[in-house]
Amino acid sequence: MYTTTEIQRRLVRFAVAGVLLLPLWGFPVGAAATDGRTGDAASRQASMVRATAVAIDARKDTARLTFTLTAGVEAKAFLLERPDRVIVDLPEVNFQLPKNAGRPPAGKGHFIGSFRFGLFAPERSRVVIDLREPALVGRVETVRTATGAELVIELNKATRAAYRKAALRPMVDSGDGLPGQQPDTPKAVTHGPKNEALPLVVIDPGHGGIDPGAQTGDGVLEKDVVFAFAQRLRDMLEASGRYRVMMTRTTDTFIALGARTRVARQAGADLFISIHADTLGSGGGVRGATIYTGSDLATDLESARLADKENLADQIAGVEATEDPDEIVGILADLTKRETRTFSNSFAGNVIDSFKGTVLLNKNPHRSAGFRVLKAPDVPSVLVELGYLSSAKDAALLVSDEWQKNAANALNEAISRYFSQRSPTEKAGGVAFSP
């Protein structure tokens, strides 16, 4: 027999199932099924087209962005508004460029802001150009050279009316989905024991692909730091034999915010942990790990600002930001959300207790804000800021193999304590977990 709590949770998931028949834009096909531990990635990377240099010629009314490639590619461009961006979609390209290659060009008087490049989905790369003023795409083509090819993107300054008209008429066909969106959500791969009675932990390495996240002055990227940590934590959980483990991304690819929570809900996750290492505008004096839980109101202004920043991930990757529909309503929804937040807060407390003495904690280590990745109403969820790349001391620790090992061990202990504290009737299917 199921308890009232479990019946509530199952009804909510059943209610969501009908909505999930709709296209779920944002989770790249095969991303979760491709494990970064296989040798296939290295051989594929060696055979793909490489971008070895980039140059930008930005003037008052025109601009040209030129990527040096080892071979020609087919490129398609379209525009997005609010904010203004030029999106260029390509086959998969191995961008072997300096970390700071996309920073704004020096000088004033031109309309190009920064630009980004990277993997957007399996076998699809993307360049996103931020515009300070409206501009239209005059030319996007590959020009053959003696040593390979050049991808030339020419932009011409335009009026707001002309830009808006072009943005409403995308310059790409919709054969692979709507512009600014990604393919449907696939069935993700679960690692560890196949025993369905074991709890399912979903680890979410923040950012990825074209979305690098925070960055230090010497080129350390948040997406790389958190991915390395997530892999370490996954391996520890798998080795224990006490959990089934899933990662929202297993390669350096972009995953939309809504898809990160949807894949966990579809799989019936028992715990969702999003891993980050951000920067703070208040300077390098702020240090230590912070555990965030979801809430409608932020506990403080800094948390609200950080949530707003993280919630821009889709926009950074050139994806139209859309809110997920309100899938469940009424008393059942309120009860489930309240219970889920209670479990989330409980796990946050366990993480803080486990980190003490091992991982430096922020002076206010448990905070709440409206993070989109923490909005699953039926999956206990936390966002773990391991530290802040804006702090030189934190940044040095975050890239340390020894520090990552100790921090992952502490988080592993918190997960074990969390599931051991929950009674059998509170666990999935009314079946006791093996702590």
pLDDT one-digit tens code per residue, 297-339: 899 898 998 999 898 888 888 876 555 544 545 555 667 788 8
pLDDT of residue 272: 97
pLDDT one-digit tens code per residue, 32-51: 334 545 556 566 666 789 99
pLDDT one-digit tens code per residue, 3-28: 444 444 444 443 433 333 222 223 23
Which of the pair, 184 or 122, is modelled with greater confidence?
122
DSSP string, 13-68: HHHHHHHTTS--TTS-TTTTTS-TTSSHHHHHHHHSEEEEEEEEEE-SSEEEEEEE
Which of the pair, 114 or 323, is modelled with greater confidence?
114
* Lowest pLDDT segment from 60-64, 204-208, 272-276: 60-64
Region 359-371 average pLDDT? 95
Question: Which element (helix H / strand E) includes 264?
Answer: helix 257-267
Please state, in angstroms and rounded to a whole number, the distance separating the CA atoms of residues 323 and 196.
31
Please state, in angstroms and rounded to a whole number, the distance separating the CA atoms of residues 231 and 247.
9
Strand pairing class (289-294; 381-385): antiparallel
Q: Is the pLDDT of residue 204 over 90?
A: yes
- Put simply, whether the predicted model's pTM sits higher than 0.85 gets the answer no
Q: Tokens in use for 221?
A: 């990227």
Region 47-64 average pLDDT? 90
Q: Is the pLDDT of residue 250 over 80?
A: yes
Q: How far is CA 325 from CA 235, 258, 373, in A?
A: 35, 11, 15
Q: Is 301 exposed, middle or buried (0-12, 13-18, 19+ CB in 10 A)?
A: exposed
Strand pairing class (76-80; 149-157): unpaired
Percent of residues, the chain, with pLDDT higher than 70? 75
Q: Which domains does the chain have, with CATH numbers?
A: 4-33+186-430 (3.40.630.40), 47-168 (2.60.40.3500)
Cis peptide before 28 (omega within 30 of 0): no
Length of the chain: 435
- Closest by CA position to 412, among listed 366, 354, 342, 346: 354
* Lowest pLDDT segment from 51-60, 105-114, 145-154, 223-232: 105-114
pLDDT of residue 331: 55
pLDDT of residue 284: 61
Region 329-352 average pLDDT? 83
pLDDT one-digit tens code per residue, 152-179: 999 999 999 999 888 876 544 434 443 4
Region 354-381 average pLDDT? 94
Report residue 106's pLDDT band, with 50, 70 and 90 as the boundaries: low
Q: How far is CA 88 from CA 115, 275, 318, 404, in A?
A: 11, 29, 9, 36
Q: Is 189 exposed, middle or buried (0-12, 13-18, 19+ CB in 10 A)?
A: middle
Q: What is the mean pLDDT of the chain?
A: 81
